[in-house]
Structure 1
Amino acid sequence: MHGAIAPVWDTAPVGPSPELVLAQPPPPSPPSPSQPAAAPRFARLASRYRVYRLPAFLLAAALLAVVGLATVVGLRSFAESAEWVEHSYQVIAELESTLAATRTVESSARGYRLTDRPDLHAEYLSSIPAALSHSAQLIALTRDNPLQHRLARDIERRVRQRLAEIDRLLELHLRDPQQARLSSLTSNGAEQMRALTAVADNMREHERGLLASRDARTERNAALLTALVIGGLLLALSLLALLMLSLWQENRRSRALERESRQALAELEASAAERQRLTERHRSLSHYAGLLQSCQTLEEALDMTAHVIADLIPELGGRCYVLRASQNLAETAARFGREAIASADLLHPNDCWALRRGQVHRSQAHDGGVRCAHLERADPQRAHAGDDDPRWSLCVPLMAQNTSLGLLCLSGARPPREADLALVQSIAEQLSLAIVNLQLRETLRVQSLRDPLTGLFNRRYLEENLQRELLRCQRRHLPLSVLMLDVDHFKRFNDTHGHAAGDALLARIGQLLQELVRNEDIACRYGGEEFTIVLPEADAEAAAQRAERIRAAIAATTIVHLRQTFGPATCSIGLATSQGERDTPQQLLQSADAALYRAKAEGRDRVVDGNRSAAVASDARA
């Protein structure tokens, strides 16, 4: 599709457009004093959108209420997040205080043993309760988190062990200083302190991870709340603005309809035949709109449009153009009738005034100054003689939501009727919406089956087609193999080079798989860095050869990302082959997955046949 076009399902009008309805006269009836009753008919037509006003108002009120409720809930969520963040900082602070108090006890005791200063002994005695108090407070703060609570208890236990060791050395120093110095040399105090520090580092990193996740969740909730509030307010204000605009337009339309109703009374008899013809056209147009919504392909919709125009307006001829995806060329997709003024098979959008301006463009054959460049040039001899050429052309752009989709080009040999021009414009509107729907349907179909990063089929497509292919091979007594591929050390690659480089690597691997598989094979992205390849009618030997080629191709591949070359990467592949008619897709995938894990366990960058491994295990058990 061209550009970002929102879904427009069921938005195409199934009946005649308002322009055509207003163009047809009221039903014929003999003049009478009661004839002015035609005016209320126009009034009803002008105010047919009244029924939507109350729902629109209620919707706007509901949106404002939802915005207010979301704001309150968001503020409460922010307050809770702030409390948890403060809690994390308290845990980290108590952890640091515990370590600092323990080191203070250690340094005071060591200083006392070296100098025998009474003030250091007093400092030692006063530091012990602080260390125990901080460790106890750390346990109390982490009761909400089992992992951190377990680490906090471990820290308290190690603090008590260290304090006990320090106290033992100090008592020994008081009894025998020489023996205390010798004992301190063989003491495991340093190891105890390193173990305590290691546990504290682990707890600190985990708490910082919790803090980071809480900060990220807070930012995500803030962005969501901001988008919800802004979107709700804009939508509510838009609905209110549309309500005011509708009231203003209805007031203006009512005054205009009053004037038109007075003029319509004098035109009833003359417009009876014209009304009948327009009614038939409207019926055909409604039928066309219904069929258009049932079209499955763009070619089908364009062919049906060409037949409808040829049936409703046989005196016109022309063609339908469709813009290519690049928006730089429009090509003929369908023709109808006989063209009075020939048009080019291919045209550049700048060659057509309608595509340039996004509006309907009409021109006469003799008016060369405003004719489109893709139309046949007028006869210069006839123009020099002063003869007026009655031929005319009409270019109607096919547009939806300010996006150009194509062009409807018509021409005739006689001056056109305004009703015919309005009918052509209505058909163009219907066709534009149908083209958007068909293009969107095709895009959604491709997106539902393809992985957007690698271009391979997705897991849903695999689950739907593996069962069918397996049953087909089982009916014909043919083998079917499944390869499960996983990129080795992909998480380390992501952590080292970034997720963008990881995505580039996965995209390159997807491209390689598309190049290495057959047309009948099914290459899918199973999830993350895992890929699955279904090889119908391939036995274990052929599948193993194919897997080796894939492994070697990936191992020899490098990628260039942001002017840096990465790789090559390696992969591990598990292989499973259908052994009988009782095999199921789940069994094949599980067998291939188990073989993949064996390949990783055996050193990666290899292919493991799950069936062969299972046979070896069975022989070993026998």
Structure 2
Amino acid sequence: MAQPSPPASPTPPPPSRLVSRYRAYRLPAFVLAATLLAAVGVATVAGLRSFANSAEWVEHSYQVIAEIESTLAATRTVESSARGYRLTDRPSLHAEYLTSIPAALSHSSALIALTRDNPRQNRLARDVERRVRQRLAEIDRLLEMHMRDPQQARLSSQTSHGAEQMRALTAVADAMREYERALLSARDARTERNATLLTALVIGGLLLALGLLALLMLNLWQENKRSRALERESRQALAELEASAAERQRLTERHRSLSHYAGLLQSCQTLQEAMDMTAHAIADLIPEFGGRCYILRASQNLAETAARFGREAIASADLLHPDDCWALRRGRIHRSQAHDGGVRCAHLARAEAGADSGGDPRWSLCVPLMAQNTSLGLLCLSGERPPREADLALIQSIAEQLSLAVVNLQLRETLRVQSLRDPLTGLFNRRYLEENLQRELLRCQRRKLPLSVLMLDVDHFKRFNDTHGHAAGDALLARVGQLLQELVRNEDIACRYGGEEFTVVLPEADAATAMQRAEQIRAAIAATTIVHLRQTFGPATCSIGLATSVGDRETPQQLLQAADAALYRAKAEGRDRVVDGNKPAAADA
């Protein structure tokens, strides 16, 4: 006979039905929990106020005990001061006696005021005051008797009732003290009992309220669990939508920033300013990348760091040779990453020994700055994560605009130098002299310093030109310019004034120093020969006129006229010499 199958276990209700069943109990449970918490709060406030009141009474008891001790101590002070005076007749003890009497009376009066709330203690306090006054009166009587008849006062003190009065006063004070201590003990016991009751009430109410709140939170968590999945899906869809909108916004902002960068780049005055602007733009547009901006020197044999941005994931050298960078070698972008077998440039730091290069996610990107098939510099970037295509396009666009800006700035600098330099001698021209002599003269006058000007002319230059030709004359002038550049200081200004005349401005140099410098220049030129078309010419001589400004009234035109006049004096006196225009002709001769 077949055995009957076991009864099927009851199917539990779905979670949604359980949630609906407990939903009706949420509001009553919340109200009950809030009521319990409010009751706990009220009980806590009442308990704290009760504790504060108990603390005030405890403080009051300690004040009463302290006043009792102070009254006894002040009375004993009066007694000891009077006894000492009777024994020694010292005025200081008599003064101390007089000043201690008000203190004893004050403490006894304060004791009466403190016990006004307790009739029994108040009666005892008044008794203490009465006995204090009796004792003070007895002491005062003995002191007056001592002033009249010390011998009689000594005999009277032996038979007086001072000791009995003091013992009676002490007995009353001890009774007050014991009673006050009994009150203090009773208050402490009551406070302890109230504290225990309040603690039990607060803990019980909090536990019950927290239990109800925990049940409510569990019920809410079960109900919200179902909605979290839907919310997660909706948040994911919203995040994707926001990411797409943010990407579009980021690209738009990049294009706007790039246009702004291009406009600012065209307004840069120096290469360093353009490099700093580029570094700031890259750090702002692609903050997760770091790197450097390099500029190639005019000799094309070395590139040096001009600006930095971000934090470099792979360090690069401060100075690099063009052969150390594949981008500069090939004239195109070079990207390397460890896991894809890319060749890393020699100017980049190598991976540490023993490191797993296959797991190194760092990458590097070198972008050459090119214009008209000429290398101008380099952008070197690195990062922890691979760049996106939009980032690469942005970097390439920045490199192209920076290349054009570098070419324009170099051309502008070349034109500026050509406008200020004499092409034959390499010295500054007359225009530069006129612009800077005024500034240097005002600076020296403001600082009460001298300034000297040398006017130099090559002797018999026209004859040299006519004899050897203009090409030899140009070679001679170029050699004189080279000597002046070698002999002047960095702060001096050496210029070709016109033809075979040269001018040297010596800031902060007095007449004696300028004369010494002028003699050095004259001697160097007199000892110099030139080789032109395999022929040796020279040595040539020169005449130099000197003028020094020591006051604040000279102008650049006056200085130049004085130096020129001294130069003509040197020519007239036989050439190949230096004449100080600050001295009269007779003294110079």
Give TM class, smaller chain: 0.5 to 0.7
The yes-or-no answer on 1:316 pairing with 2:289 is yes
Tell me the amino acid that sits aligned with residue 252 of structure 2. Answer: T
Cα distance in 1, alignment partners of residues 501 and 465 from structure 2:
15
Q: Compared with structure 1, are the counterparts of its residues 369 and 529 closer, same or farther at alpha carbon in structure 2 (3 Å cutoff)?
A: same
Cα distance in 1, alignment partners of residues 326 and 276 from structure 2:
25
2:292–2:380 Cα contact (<8 Å) kept: yes
2:452–2:506 Cα contact (<8 Å) kept: yes
Q: CA deviation at 1:495?
A: 3.2
2:454–2:503 Cα contact (<8 Å) kept: yes
Q: Is the partner of 1:292 in helix, strand or coil?
A: helix
The yes-or-no answer on 1:558 pairing with 2:529 is yes
Q: Compared with structure 1, are the counterparts of its residues 279 and 582 closer, same or farther at alpha carbon in structure 2 (3 Å cutoff)?
A: same
Q: Is the partner of 1:332 in helix, strand or coil?
A: strand
CA radius of gyration, larger in: 2
Tell me the amino acid that sits aligned with residue 564 of structure 1. Answer: Q
Q: Is the partner of 1:278 in helix, strand or coil?
A: helix
Q: CA deviation at 1:541?
A: 4.4
1:515-562, Cα deviation, whole Å (9 max, x unpaired): 333444322110111011223444444433433332222111222344
The yes-or-no answer on 1:608 pairing with 2:575 is no
Cα distance in 1, alignment partners of residues 259 and 584 from structure 2:
66
Q: Compared with structure 1, are the counterparts of its residues 270 and 472 closer, same or farther at alpha carbon in structure 2 (3 Å cutoff)?
A: closer
Cα distance in 1, alignment partners of residues 362 and 507 from structure 2:
62
Q: CA deviation at 1:434?
A: 2.7
Q: Which residue of 2 aligns with 1:331?
A: 304
The yes-or-no answer on 1:495 pairing with 2:466 is yes
Tell me the amino acid that sits aligned with residue 566 of structure 1. Answer: F
The yes-or-no answer on 1:575 pairing with 2:546 is yes
Q: Which residue of 1 aligns with 2:430?
A: 459
Q: For 1:433, which of 386, 392, 404 is the aligned residue?
A: 404
Q: Which residue of 1 aligns with 2:456?
A: 485
Q: Which residue of 1 aligns with 2:142?
A: none
Q: When the two structures are superposed, what TM-score results if normalisation uses the length of structure 1? A: 0.50
Alignment of 1:137-176 (within 5 A): none
Q: CA deviation at 1:586?
A: 2.1
Q: Compared with structure 1, are the counterparts of its residues 360 and 608 closer, same or farther at alpha carbon in structure 2 (3 Å cutoff)?
A: same
Alignment of 1:401-550 (within 5 A): 401-475=372-446, 478-550=449-521
1:169-207, Cα deviation, whole Å (9 max, x unpaired): xxxxxxxxxxxxxxxxxxxxxxxxxxxxxxxxxxxxxxx
Cα distance in 1, alignment partners of residues 319 and 406 from structure 2:
19
Q: CA RMSD in A?
A: 3.3
Tell me the amino acid that sits aligned with residue 288 of structure 1. Answer: Y
Q: CA deviation at 1:426?
A: 1.2
* Structure 2 unaligned regions, length at least 5: 1-240
Q: Which residue of 1 aligns with 2:120?
A: none
Q: CA deviation at 1:270?
A: 9.8
Cα distance in 2, alignment partners of residues 490 and 368 from structure 1:
69
Tell me the amino acid that sits aligned with residue 292 of structure 1. Answer: L
Q: CA deviation at 1:360?
A: 1.8
The yes-or-no answer on 1:306 pairing with 2:279 is yes
Q: Is the partner of 1:430 in helix, strand or coil?
A: helix
2:336–2:342 Cα contact (<8 Å) kept: no
Cα distance in 1, alignment partners of residues 471 and 505 from structure 2:
28
Q: Compared with structure 1, are the counterparts of its residues 339 and 453 closer, same or farther at alpha carbon in structure 2 (3 Å cutoff)?
A: same
Aligned residues: 348
Q: CA deviation at 1:588?
A: 2.6
1:366–1:383 Cα contact (<8 Å) kept: no
Alignment of 1:27-106 (within 5 A): none
Q: Which residue of 1 aligns with 2:556?
A: 585
Cα distance in 2, alignment partners of residues 271 and 504 from structure 1:
71
Q: Compared with structure 1, are the counterparts of its residues 604 and 437 closer, same or farther at alpha carbon in structure 2 (3 Å cutoff)?
A: same
Tell me the amino acid that sits aligned with residue 504 of structure 2. Answer: I
Cα distance in 1, alignment partners of residues 309 and 549 from structure 2:
55
Q: Compared with structure 1, are the counterparts of its residues 348 and 545 closer, same or farther at alpha carbon in structure 2 (3 Å cutoff)?
A: closer
The yes-or-no answer on 1:289 pairing with 2:289 is no
1:483–1:592 Cα contact (<8 Å) kept: yes
Q: Is the partner of 2:583 in helix, strand or coil?
A: helix
Q: Which residue of 2 aligns with 1:397?
A: 368
Q: Compared with structure 1, are the counterparts of its residues 615 and 519 closer, same or farther at alpha carbon in structure 2 (3 Å cutoff)?
A: farther
Tell me the amino acid that sits aligned with residue 511 of structure 1. Answer: Q
Q: CA deviation at 1:280?
A: 0.9
Tell me the amino acid that sits aligned with residue 290 of structure 1. Answer: G
Q: When the two structures are superposed, what TM-score results if normalisation uses the length of structure 2? A: 0.53
* Structure 1 unaligned regions, length at least 5: 1-267, 618-622
Q: Which residue of 2 aligns with 1:363?
A: 336
Alignment of 1:211-222 (within 5 A): none
Q: For 1:352, which of 325, 329, 332 is the aligned residue?
A: 325
- Name which structure has the greater RCO, CA cutoff 8 Å, separation 6+: 1
Alignment of 1:113-192 (within 5 A): none
The yes-or-no answer on 1:596 pairing with 2:562 is no
2:283–2:309 Cα contact (<8 Å) kept: yes
2:455–2:563 Cα contact (<8 Å) kept: yes
Q: Is the partner of 1:603 in helix, strand or coil?
A: coil
1:392-433, Cα deviation, whole Å (9 max, x unpaired): 332211112322111112233333221111111111122222
1:261-285, Cα deviation, whole Å (9 max, x unpaired): xxxxxxx999654322101111222
Q: Compared with structure 1, are the counterparts of its residues 494 and 320 closer, same or farther at alpha carbon in structure 2 (3 Å cutoff)?
A: same
Q: Which residue of 1 aligns with 2:247?
A: 274
Tell me the amino acid that sits aligned with residue 470 of structure 1. Answer: L
Q: Is the partner of 1:612 in helix, strand or coil?
A: coil
Q: Compared with structure 1, are the counterparts of its residues 341 and 552 closer, same or farther at alpha carbon in structure 2 (3 Å cutoff)?
A: closer
1:204-225, Cα deviation, whole Å (9 max, x unpaired): xxxxxxxxxxxxxxxxxxxxxx
1:482–1:589 Cα contact (<8 Å) kept: yes
Tell me the amino acid that sits aligned with residue 507 of structure 1. Answer: A
